[in-house]
Structure 1
Amino acid sequence: MTTYAIIETGGQQLRVEPGRFHNIRHFASLAPSRSERNTKVLIYRVLMIRNESNINIGHPWLEDAVIKGRIMHPSFDKKIVIYRMISKKKTRRKLGHRQKSTRFIVDSISLKGESVQGASMR
């Protein structure tokens, strides 16, 4: 059994574990100038925490639950290509962009001020 949490950030829900890194589209509360290496991040929107066989579910979020982590580096995702073609009109339009994302690593999961211990740190 492992320890993990489900958080909400950047318009998506993620399953995070201590010691693993994750890519997030954007941190809502973090200014672009603050997204440097080793910037500490606290995430309070925790939906669920599982520790061994104990499961804590929030409604909608858990009170006194914090995910502590730090930013590894800002990066770009894969390029998204949008190709529009109207047949019989000889009209073609190709657009694309790269979505900004931030890679961060989870240091610890805390519930009610106590760190939730995982079975194994990766």
Structure 2
Amino acid sequence: MTYAIIETSGTQIMVEPGRFYDVNLLDAAPGDEITIDKVLFIRNEDDAHVGQPWVEGATVRGTVLQHLRGRKVIVYKMQPKKKTRKKRGHRQELTRLAISSISVNGTVLAEAEIPAPRSLDLEPATGEVAEMVSAEAE
């Protein structure tokens, strides 16, 4: 198993090729390919590369799939007997990042095929599906 520990947006994340991760908002459009060179650690089978603080020549490549918002976090502050209550909500802006490869000094250690981001097809039903729907209505 090959994995790397990277730093992005002020957080450290363990990543593997072929998987996607939600990180704090990145300045990139969906479909853009990005390269992260802040790699702290790489593990490849029995081989390990430890950085101080970064692994020299190591890069992790990924593709931005979409931008989204995280789950809502409710912050509720109350002072008993003072009639003071504050209720606020927060949703973190996130970027979904699919990791495609991990490499050191130009040598690719692990690679995965990342499909292109899909767009939602909002066309009306046609063909067989439309015929089945009309048959059930009769």
Q: 1:114 to 1:48 in 2, by over 3 A?
A: same
Residue 44 (structure 2) pairs with residue 45 (structure 1): no
Question: How far apart, CA to CA, are the structure 1 residues paired with 2:107 and 2:16?
Answer: 16
Deviations 1:22-68 (A, max 9, x none): 010133xx3xxxx3211111000000111001000011001111101
Structure 2 gaps of 5+ residues are: 115-138
Equivalent residue, structure 2, for 1:111? 104
Residue 49 (structure 2) pairs with residue 16 (structure 1): no
Alignment of 1:59-74 (within 5 A): 59-74=52-67
Equivalent residue, structure 2, for 1:75? 68
Following superposition, the deviation at residue 11 of structure 1 comes to 1.1
Superposed CA RMSD in Å reads 1.7
TM-score by length of 2: 0.77
Q: Which stretches of structure 1, 4 residues or longer, exceed 6 Å deviation after superposition?
A: none
* Structure with the bigger percentage of strand: 1
Higher relative contact order at CA 8 Å, sep ≥6: structure 1 or structure 2?
Answer: 1
Give the fraction of aligned pairs with identical amino acids, expressed as a percent.
41
Structure 1 gaps of 5+ residues are: none
Following superposition, the deviation at residue 121 of structure 1 comes to 7.8
Question: How far apart, CA to CA, are the structure 2 residues paired with 1:46 and 1:73?
Answer: 23
The structure whose Rg is larger is 2
Count residues with an aligned counterpart: 114
